[in-house]
Amino acid sequence: MIRVLLYDDSDQFREAISLLLEQTAGFDVVGKFNNCETAVADVELLKPEVILMDIDMPGATGIDGVRMIRQKIADVKIIMLTVFDNNKNIYDAIRFGANGYVLKKSTPAAIISAIRDVYEGGAPMNSSIATQVLQMFAGMLPGTQSYGLSEKEKEVLKSLVDGNSYKMVAASLKISIDTVRSHIRSIYEKLQVNSKSAAVAKALKDRIL
């Protein structure tokens, strides 16, 4: 039996999914709530294996729920349910630890399949959502704007982004501290910044590395 916990503020949808699961062999609905403000306590008490989490709920949103759960519990599987395949919601859900993402307009069979899939270690997504995920991660590929940095300057900047001190940069790249300082002056000039934190921020923002 797959133990399922359901969060959705729509009474009609919540009861429909609950009834669907209760009438399907292999599922046990251990709880159903109209908000996820006590999600961590709910999970610890009810010990579900799969959570169906609506994104758009008043008070604590489904994104908040995922974040709260993942701060305490790593192994429970979480499927996000939503009316809209919104790109920012997709990004936030994945960033905070959701395992799957399914539209509410999916057929009952598709929702059942998604629960079984995530329970077995999969990452269920509607085709429209999968397309957006691919587009989203394509947008995260390194940018084409290099600011004219040399390969060695990029190595120095990458080391700074990793949190290394000048001495650690010198040791890791097998160059002198004076050479590190020379590269950093050049990096600052090319990026038009005047501090390490500003250089690191620009490197991350513009995906230079």
SS3 of the chain = CEEEEEECCCHHHHHHHHHHHHCCCCEEEEEEECCCCCHHHHHHHHCCCEEEEECCCCCCCHHHHHHHHHHHCCCCEEEEEECCCCHHHHHHHHHHCCCEEEECCCCHHHHHHHHHHHHCCCCCECHHHHHHHHHHHHCCCCCCCCCCCCHHHHHHHHHHHCCCCHHHHHHHHCCCHHHHHHHHHHHHHHHCCCCHHHHHHHHHHCCCC
Yes or no: is domain 2-138 CATH 3.30.450.20? no
CATH of domain 151-205: 1.10.10.10
Give residue-wise pLDDT tens across range 9-28.
999 999 999 999 999 999 99
The whole-number mean pLDDT for each consecutive block of 10 residues of the chain, a chain of 209 residues, reads: 97 96 97 96 98 93 94 93 77 85 92 94 80 66 72 92 87 94 93 83 79
To the question of pTM greater than 0.75 for the whole model, the response is: no
Q: In the chain, what are the domain boundaries? A: 2-138, 151-205
